[in-house]
Amino acid sequence: MFRLSQYMRETLRPTPLKPTRKPVAPVVIWNLIRRCNLTCKHCYTTSTNINFPNELTPPEIYQVMTDLKAYKVPVLILSGGEPLLHPDIFAISEQAKTLGFYVALSTNGTLITEKNINKIAAINYQYVGVSLDGIGATHDKFRQKQGSFEDSLAGIRLCQKNGIKVGIRFTLTQDNVDDFPAMLQLMDDENIDKFYLSHLNYGGRGNKNRQDDANFKMTRTVMDHLFTQCLQWEQQGIAREIVTGNNDADAVYFLHWVKKHYPQQLVHIKAKLEQWGGNASGVNVANIDNLGYVHPDTFWWHHSLGNVKTRNFAEIWQDSSDSLMAGLKKTPRPLEGRCGSCDYQKICNGNTRVRAQQVFNNPWAEDPGCYLNQDEIMT
Ligand code: SF4
């Protein structure tokens, strides 16, 4: 995840470079349940409104949580499916808080209502993230449910009314790009704390057509807009977080933006971005699915590292006999193609490996989702 606001602040008000602190254990995104009341077009868990068999039971969840705490996992992001459909979501969340995790809830927002808002507020989640794919009908079409935009927005407002930090997660596609400016306007209109731009795990058409690729052009335009908006909020003193996910080339693209607009900060921002280090799948980010299988991140559900029902999470995570995990943990990663020869590997870390695996059947091939031109990956 690229924390744009943080680096924009660094550009405007640089702070000294501190020694790098490597986290002991990863942030865990935990899909507690696959059931969902919606059937979104881009859902990576292909959820639907039925009970899925063999999901972790509450006692199993509590045991895993204890193991995660012992391993010093700092953050749990409770997700689904729709986590609010889990019959024990509040007990599970309460236990996570008691154990001292930073606990976030990732929800579609439609089930946050007057009936449960007091319970949600009582948990004291550090953050609630609500997915919105556009305004009104655009969102409803993606979510395949009329009225879901209004329901999600009502959920966001209820959270705000109850003092809960809340943000929007917007997954960019060609079908909702026209709503992007309106999404940023919604941030202002509703005074929302955080905006998460999630890139679709789009593979592109490869190197040959990179310059003309409509998705890449769209992404660049959106990123330019996002930088401008972020700068404006920072200059206005509005404390609003913008982060992006699923395309670590965003950080390199931002560095080029800094070079153009704040050349005096180029060296500083480059050093800060290198310290961050780019893609963290399999290192500082982990995923546990609803059945207990562990994955390097949420897009690797077809690659299991082991199951927490039968093996301790820490053991699974530290086991480098899995060649994918061994490669993800390597510095530098064994990258090939244009990622292998890219001068910004230290910032991007080869981006999203699952795209390379899906398009080239090789997890170390170049990331086909990199929207940077050749001259932008060379110093
Ligand atoms: S070429 Fe690869 S490593 Fe370089 S910025 Fe693009 S995705 Fe990242």
> Which domains are present in the chain?
4-331 (3.20.20.70)
Atom of ligand 1 nearest to the CA of 372: 6
Q: Which of 342, 347, 353, 373 to mutate to test the pocket of ligand 1 (most atoms within 8 A of CB)?
A: 342
Ligand 1 geometric centre to CA of 348 (Å): 6
* Residue 57 DSSP label: P
**Which residues 6+ apart lie within 8 Å of 169 measured at CB?**
106, 129, 130, 131, 132, 196, 198
For residue 102, the SS3 value is: strand
pLDDT in tens, the chain (379 residues): 999 999 999 999 999 999 988 899 999 999 999 998 888 777 767 777 878 889 999 999 999 999 999 999 999 999 999 999 999 999 999 999 999 999 999 999 999 999 999 999 999 999 999 999 999 999 999 888 999 999 999 999 999 999 999 999 999 988 899 999 999 999 999 999 999 999 987 655 545 556 667 789 999 999 999 999 999 999 999 999 999 999 999 999 999 999 999 999 999 999 999 999 999 999 999 999 999 999 999 999 999 999 999 999 999 999 999 999 999 999 999 999 999 999 999 999 999 999 999 889 999 999 999 999 999 999 9
* 352 Cα nearest atom in ligand 1: 7
Beta bridge partners of 194: 167, 241
| pLDDT for the residue numbered 39 | 81
- CA–centroid distance, residue 16 to ligand 1 (Å): 27
Phi-psi region of 361 (alpha: psi -120 to 50; beta: other; left: phi over 0): left
Q: What is the structure's pLDDT at 373?
A: 95
What is the predicted pLDDT for the residue at 203? 56
For ligand 1, atom 5, which residue shows the shortest CA distance? 249
Q: Which residues sit with their C-beta closer than 6 Å to ligand 1?
A: 249, 252, 338-339, 342, 344-345, 348, 350-351, 366-367, 370, 372, 377
Residue with CA at minimum distance from ligand 1 atom 1: 339
**pLDDT recorded at residue 278:** 98
d(CA 174, CA 81): 24
Closest ligand 1 atom to residue 249 Cα is: 5
Q: Given the CA of residue 343, which atom of ligand 1 is nearest to it?
A: 4
The pTM of this model reads: 0.95
- Is 295:289 a contact under the CB 8 Å cutoff? yes
For ligand 1, what atom is nearest to the CA of residue 278?
8
User: Measured in angstroms, how far is the CA atom of residue 7 from the centroid of ligand 1?
Assistant: 19
- Which of 202, 366, 375 best tests ligand 1's pocket when mutated (most atoms within 8 Å of CB)? 366
User: From atom 2 of ligand 1, which residue's Cα is the shortest distance away?
Assistant: 339
